Structures are given as structure tokens and as C-alpha cells.
Amino acid sequence: MPASEVLEYYGYKGFLGKLQYGFKFVWRFFLDKVAFFCVIKSWRTTIHRWRGVNIGKGVYIGHEVMFDRVFTDHIYIGDNTSVGDRTIITAHANIPSDTPLKKLYPRSIAKTVIGKGVWIMPNVTIIPGITVGDEAVIATGSVVTKDVPPRTLVAGVPAKIIKDLNEQL
């Protein structure tokens, strides 16, 4: 996404706006790399909060988790949720190159919300604008392209409901 469009989205104007956002982006990028290599789980969570990800209490963030680098503040994670290693959670989609495909797939920016008590297993991808309901489970390797109802187990590419967990919980 071109910097000018990000600046416009957030309302930064002029040279000082560019400078302010530039420092913010570089700082968040640096923190992303620190979190990536951090071996202490509580520190990883704190570092991602500093990056702008909205993270509740008691949240576990696994190793090598990637959050959207531009719109980190559009990601919300509820209390007591576990995010498995190498998971990707995004809040925007954009084709950065100049191609006719941009007309078919225009830029989208959307809030991504993960509920309370959710278990996201390793290697899950969650696309922008998804809401994952409270106490849902997302199986390893799933690609979440639709909202996940509370207390359900989803799996697959794309993820589909496999099991209703209401009776067991």
C-alpha cells in the first residue's frame, strides 16, 4: 500500500505528518522483529501491544506470529486467547504492484476481531475483517475466510465448521 494512501487514511498531513508516521512505522517494524525472536512469552505479548495490536489479558502469542504491519491497531484479541506459532492475522489486503487486477481486487481495510478464550492452533491464516467468536477453536493450518461462530471448531482451507462445542462446554 503506498505510503501516501496510509497517511491519508490516518489523517497525517504534510512533511511533519510523513515524518511522524515514518517514525511510527519504523518503530513498529523494529518491535515486530524483536517480538519475532523473543523467547519470553509475556514479553512477546507486551511487545505486540506496543506495536499497536489490541490484546486482552492472559493472552498467549506463539513464536513467529505475524500481525498486519501497517494496520496493527485494527486487530483485536480477547482475554485468555492463545495464538499458535507462525499464525498470520491481517487487517488489510492490497495488491501493491500496478496491475489491472487492482480493479478486480481493490484495497480493503477491516477490523479483525478474535474473541475471548479462543484457541488458534499453529500455522493459521486469518484474513481481514474476520470475527472469531468466543471460545472457538481454529485447527492447525486453517485459512479463515469467513466469520467463526462462538464455541465451534473450524478446520481446513478454507476453514469450515467441523464441530459444535456448546454441549461439551
Q: Which residues are catalytic?
A: 92
150: nearest Cα among 159, 140, 139, 138: 138
168 dihedral zone (left: phi>0; alpha: psi -120 to 50; beta):
alpha
Order of strands across the sheet that contains 54-55: 54-55, 75-77, 112-114, 131-132
Q: CB neighbours of 109 closer than 8 A, spacing ≥ 6? A: 9, 71, 74, 91, 92, 128
CA dist 78 and 134 (Å) reads 8
Helices (H), the chain: 3-10, 14-37, 41-51, 101-104
111: nearest Cα among 158, 52, 27, 42: 52
CA dist 44 and 77 (Å) reads 14
